[in-house]
Homo-oligomer: A and B are copies of this chain.
Amino acid sequence: MKKFTNLPSDLVYEAALGFAAAHSNLVALNEDPLFVRRKAPNRSKVALISGGGSGHEPLHIGFVGEGMLDAACPGAVFTSPTPNQMLAAARAVASDAGVLFIVKNYAGDVMNFQMAMDMMDIEYASILVNDDVSVDSGGHGPGRRGVAGTVVVEKIVGAAAEQGMDLAACKRLADKVNACTASMGVAFTSCTVPEAGVATFEIGPDEMEVGVGIHGEPGRRRASVRPAAEIVDELMTPILKDVAAKAGDEVLLFVNGLGGTPLLEQYLLYHEAAQRLSREGLEPVRSLVGNYTTSLEMQGASITVTVLNEELKSLWDARAVTPAFKT
């Protein structure tokens, strides 16, 4: 394992210091408990707060700022933040309009956010993001994971909150965006959690993990690497089935790098996915390509599709000024 670290156990904290210093015009850091908040909070709106394990950057801290999140709580790498982080963040940024917690569907995140909410003396609601179609939500398992679609929820609901939408309506909008958003990923390599020091999973030199999670969780199947066009088709089929888009629909097409895949390859994936949409009679009227929800240095990518309407397009286009997402 080769990484830029001093002590691996200090990486998240030291990186947070660097992040806050590099973006001191937009964000402020609270060191204990650790959270990032907007430097200039808008006190008349619903406060949007997210958080999760570190290692997915820029998610979530990179999206703190005007038009997206009011605060974000980074946990240790691939580990949920603690309830006192969420509670302190809420107290720092909440207004009378209340707090919306944006939670990715992982057992640790769900439990810790719930504990924070149980202690809240401020009006709140929460939204569980579970856009990953590689996991079946039937049965008694933990259900679908929250992956790159979280960025779409944070952007669209962030814009609505900035425009004055109330808490109940923000919650309904977030559920609606989550419902019309589907994602699936594929990995060529594992990542290595710095404090673990060994790869999260083994994978052969010609293999790929189809449906991988953003912590290296197993996906749908282990397969041989194939041409990009075939990989994209394997991801797009369940995505399009899930969002139930019909010919003529307008969509957001989002190709997300998992951390170690060159932008050149991500744009090739975009090209293939856009061609697939075209064959289905769907039009990608909005686009996002880049490393937005990563898994440390994992080589791989995911594709996210959100079915749009006029309201969602307008909110997607609305002003956002954050470290990692600017309109």
- Which A residues have a C-beta under 8 Å from some C-beta of B? 2-6, 11-12, 14-19, 21-23, 54-55, 57-58, 62, 77, 188-189, 205-206, 208, 225, 227-229, 231, 253, 255, 259-272, 274, 284, 287-289, 291, 294, 296-297, 299, 301, 326-327
User: With A and B bound together, what is the CA distance between A287 and B227 in angstroms?
Assistant: 39
Contact A268 B22 (CB under 8 A): no
Contact A265 B5 (CB under 8 A): yes
User: With A and B bound together, what is the CA distance between A267 and B55 in angstroms?
Assistant: 12
User: With A and B bound together, what is the CA distance between A286 and B14 in angstroms?
Assistant: 19
The dominant DSSP class at the A interface is: mixed
CB < 8 Å: which of B23, B229, B268, B287 contacts A11?
B268
State the number of copies, please: 2
CB-CB under 8 A from A260, the residues of chain B are 259-260, 297, 299
Distance between A18 CB and nearest chain B CB, rounded to angstroms: 3
Distance between A30 CB and nearest chain B CB, rounded to angstroms: 16
Contact A4 B327 (CB under 8 A): no
User: With A and B bound together, what is the CA distance between A248 and B188 in angstroms?
Assistant: 47
Q: Which 8 A-B pairs have the closest CB atoms?
A: A18-B271, A18-B267, A18-B270, A57-B263, A2-B188, A4-B265, A22-B287, A15-B267
CB-CB under 8 A from A287, the residues of chain B are 21-23
Contact B229 A6 (CB under 8 A): yes
CB-CB under 8 A from A270, the residues of chain B are 18-19, 21-22
Distance between A271 CB and nearest chain B CB, rounded to angstroms: 3
CB-CB under 8 A from A11, the residues of chain B are 264-265, 268
